[in-house]
Amino acid sequence: MFRPVSSRLKLAIAALLIGTSAPALAAPKEYVIEIEVPKIGVAEYHKPYVAGWVEDAEGKAVSHLLVWYDQKKRENGGKKWLPDMKTWWRKGGRSLAVPADGVSGATRAPGRATIATPAASSPLAKLPAGHYAFVVEASREGGGREVVKAPFAWKPGGTVSAVAKGTGELGEIKLSSR
C-alpha cells in the first residue's frame, strides 16, 4: 500500500540535499594553469618560448595569461623572438608591452609547470559568461612550433576545467579551478 510522504520528511530530505551540495556550489579560491613541456631528444635543445591566452567563441584573444621568454638576454634581446609565436603575436601579442607584470616569466625546462592565481584577481574573473578556449603556443629555436586549444564553458565565479594535449612541442595543457 502506498503512503504519502509527510511534509516533515520532505523538508528533511531537501535540507539533506542542500547541505551535501553546498560545497559543490562554492566559488573556487584559485584558478590553476598547468603546462607540460616534453623532453625532446635532439643534439642542441633550446627551451621553448610559450604564450597562453583565452579566446572567445569567435577566436579573438580576450585575456593574456602568460608569456615565457628569455628575459635575461642582454638589452632585452629575447623579446625579438616573440613574433616566432605567430598565432599569439597576431592575436594580440604584438600590442602587449612585455615584460607584463603577472604575465611574463622565464622560459621553462622540460617538465610540468603549474601557475595558480587567486580567483578574485584572475583575468577569468572579468570574463562574461560564454564559450571560450584556453590556448597555448610554444615555439623553439631549432625546433618546431605548436598551438593547442582546450575549449571550456564559463560562468563568472564558476569552476572551469579545460584539458588538451599537444603532439610535439607541448604535452598536456590544463586550466582548472580549486
> Per the domain annotation, does 168 fall within a domain?
yes
The series of mean pLDDT values per 10 residues for the chain, 178 residues long, is 56 50 70 96 93 98 96 84 96 93 92 96 93 98 94 94 97 97
> Per the domain annotation, does 16 fall within a domain?
no
> Per the domain annotation, does 2 fall within a domain?
no
The pLDDT assigned to 22 comes to: 45
pTM: 0.84
- Asked if 91 and 84 count as a contact pair (C-beta separation under 8 A), the reply is no
The pLDDT assigned to 102 comes to: 84
> Per the domain annotation, does 49 fall within a domain?
yes
The pLDDT assigned to 72 comes to: 85
Total tally of structural domains belonging to the chain = 1
What residues make up the domain containing 43? Answer: 27-177
What values do phi and psi take at 48, rounded to 5?
Answer: -80, 155
> Per the domain annotation, does 67 fall within a domain?
yes
> Per the domain annotation, does 5 fall within a domain?
no
> Per the domain annotation, does 15 fall within a domain?
no
> Per the domain annotation, does 1 fall within a domain?
no
End-to-end distance of the chain based on CA atoms, in angstroms?
48
Distance CA 88, CA 84 (A): 9
Residue 140's Cβ-count burial label (10 Å; 0-12, 13-18, 19+) is buried
